[in-house]
Amino acid sequence: MLESLFAQFDSIVVLDTETTGFSPRSDEVIELALLRVTAAGEAEEYDEFIRLSPGKRLPEKITELTGITEEMLRGGVGKNEAARALADMLAHGRTLVVAYNAQFDLVFLYYLLDAYGLAGTLRGVRFLDALTVYKDRRPYPHRLADAVAAYALVSQNTHRAIDDAHATWELLCAMDAEAGDLDRYLNLFGYNAKYGLPKRRISSVAYRPQGFDAVGKLYDIPEEGCT
């Protein structure tokens, strides 16, 4: 299972976040889930709510979507503790970070780490966006819930970080069993050409336009055809 990835990495960390909104500068991570799996099959989890900054409120629409309340967050950990837990999870030799719509999570987590001088822990880490792979495998729509249904996964997309991390791990395994090319997507993120390149880009990632209905593999797009 995932032989092409574990041939290159000591561990795979699947992560997911829940946030107060879409802006990594003005919004905050309110739940962080990390699922680390080694080549030997050992696994460990981290899942914590993260307290809001003083004066911040949790939007009602986020509670409606996730079921997370301000009371739940008050019992969570501080941002410093969450940042250090993430940094520790990444400090295990050759690590691959996987997420569904990884661009979103990684930019938020960069700001979380950077606030405590820990952004350097991302240096040298490689990334795989499960959404990019899924868009090459199945037609629109491409929500995590659609991927769960398409592959009849056990874990469900609940908009809670740990559940979604487990669903992403299962999806990764299912897509690997379907076609063993996941290693071709390392540090390769698709983006919607209609909206252009992400405003905050990850320097080690190659971004290539990806349509709703793939006509080929994103990694086969010639370099000169990339934005």
In the block, tokens 């909104």 appear at 21
Element (H, E) at 49: strand 43-49
Overall average pLDDT of the 23-35 stretch = 97
Quick: pLDDT tens for 103-113: 999 999 999 99
For residue 98, give the nearest of 42, 154, 196, 167 by alpha carbon: 167
In sequence order, what are the beta bridge partners of 38? 11
pLDDT band at 223 (very low <50, low <70, confident <90, very high): low
**pTM score, whole prediction:** 0.95
Give the span between the Cα atoms of 80 and 226, in whole angstroms: 38
Give the span between the Cα atoms of 122 and 61, in whole angstroms: 31
Quick: pLDDT tens for 44-99: 999 999 999 999 999 999 999 999 999 999 999 999 999 999 999 999 889 999 99
- Helices of type H across the chain: 3-6, 60-66, 70-74, 79-90, 102-114, 130-137, 144-150, 161-178
Q: Which amino acid is at 137?
A: R
Quick: pLDDT tens for 147-193: 999 999 999 888 899 999 999 999 999 999 999 999 999 999 999 99
Give 108's contacts (C-beta < 8 A, 6+ positions apart).
Answer: 17, 19, 24, 27, 29
Counting residues of the chain whose pLDDT is more than 90, the rounded percentage is 90
